[in-house]
Structure 1
Amino acid sequence: MCHGGWCFEQLTRRLRGAGHTVHPLTLTGLSERSHLLHGTVNLDTHIQDVVATLEGENLRDVTLVGHSYGGMVITGAADRAPDRVRCLVYLDAVVPAHGDSCWSLVSDQERRWYVDVDETGCASRVLPIFDARATSHPIASLLQPLRLTGDLGHIERRDYVYAAGWADQSPFTTTYQKLSADPGWTTHALPGGHNLMRDNPDELAAILDRAASH
């Protein structure tokens, strides 16, 4: 939420140095694309952002990485482009099923943040702790339920990377514990805060390297 592809800069540099092709995306209505924000920018818009990149760059055997809200987006993109996506990595993120929304998966604390909309009336405000480049986030993308057409059975590997260093209680602890007991998932815990790509770029790059090379 509220961030752009620039938040992955340290991680992108490390992965490219290891020989990977990396496409850090800024979703419609955010950061340097904030001029595209309007009331109809929703989850489908953001899923299409990813699918359009996969198709436009003719990418295959892709590992999609979604941070936080981005778990909604990569799940939908994998469903819509099954012939292009091989692996999903949820980076301290929501893990939705069909019919879930970001709103339905988070706590009341996050919901209170979401409904504190800015002067546009259609976007959740930036939190004071965010990078100065962050911008308001289209609230429709948080409210819209995810619609899946399949079971994502084509995905060869699913990883969950949990941030164990939240200053207060993490909203993702239950998700991490559940997936740790699921043999269909590979789970990891890193000591940093929610923005693991900033706090733990080396460890995270190693995890992504293994996932992409699986």
Structure 2
Amino acid sequence: MAALAFVDAFVPADGDSVWSLANQRYRDVFLAGAAGDGLTCPPPSHLDPRCRPHPVGTFLQAIRLTGAWRAVRTKAHVAATGWEGSPFIAAHERLRADPAWRTHLVDCAHDVPRLAPAALADILLGLA
């Protein structure tokens, strides 16, 4: 693998889950969303209308990582700064201080590929 990019996302360690990384505000959103059918969380209304409900189990499932990702030479984190309350800024700030990571800021909301496709394409092509 030539590069690894996290785009407006958590950067988990072995055993982490979205649930363990999210703050209480987002956990409450997940629970409220799952109240409808107990299985899925509907997308927020401000997102792309093509978005579909997200299985709640994927928020809870812990990831298992071997550590092989550390051998990837080029690692990048892209943070979207155009939305209030982003849970991903803390990860971005932590990685910004790590010389093994390249960090980028994009002025848009969370759906970076749809809202800033040219900026994202430039960042990703720069990793190649």
TM-score calculated relative to the size of structure 2: 0.90
Change (3 A) 1:142 1:134: same
Other-structure match for 2:50:
133
Unaligned runs of at least 5 residues, structure 1 = 1-84
1:55 aligned partner:
none
CA contact (8 A) 2:3 2:75 kept: yes
Deviation at 1:140, TM superposition (A): 0.6
What amino acid is aligned across from residue 61 of structure 2 in structure 1? Answer: Q
Match of 1:120 in 2: 37
Number of aligned residue pairs: 127
3-state SS, counterpart of residue 153 of structure 1: helix
Contact 1:163 1:190 in 2 (8 A): yes
Of the three residues 80, 88, 93, the one matched with 1:177 is: 93
Describe the superposition over 1:18-57 as per-residue Cα deviations: whole angstroms up to 9, x where unpaired: xxxxxxxxxxxxxxxxxxxxxxxxxxxxxxxxxxxxxxxx
Q: Whose relative contact order is higher, 1 or 2, with alpha carbons under 8 Å and at least 6 apart?
A: 2
Q: Which amino acid aligns with 1:87?
A: A
Question: Partners in 1 of 2:20 and 2:82 — Cα distance?
Answer: 24
Q: CA deviation at 1:118?
A: 5.3
In structure 1, distance between residues paired with 2:96 and 2:43:
32
Q: 2:122 aligns with which of 172, 186, 206?
A: 206
Q: How does 1:70-109 map to 2 (within 5 A)?
A: 85-109=1-25
CA contact (8 A) 1:118 1:125 kept: no
Deviation, 1:150, is 3.1
Contact 1:123 1:137 in 2 (8 A): yes
User: 2:111 is matched with which residue?
Assistant: 195
Is contact 2:47-2:111 (8 Å) kept?
Answer: no
Q: How high is the TM-score relative to the length of structure 1? A: 0.56
Report the Cα distance in structure 1 between the residues aligned to 2:95 and 2:52, rounded to whole angstroms. Answer: 32
Over residues 158-179 of structure 1, what are the superposed CA-to-partner deviations in whole Å (9 max), with x where a residue is unaligned? Answer: 001111111x222112111110
Moved more, 183-192 or 193-202: 193-202
Amino acid at match of 2:51: A
**4+ aligned runs moved over 6 Å, structure 1:** none
Letter in 2 for 1:199: L
CA distance in 2, matches of 1:192, 1:153: 29
**SS of aligned partner of 1:110:** helix
**Structure 2: gaps spanning 5 or more residues:** none
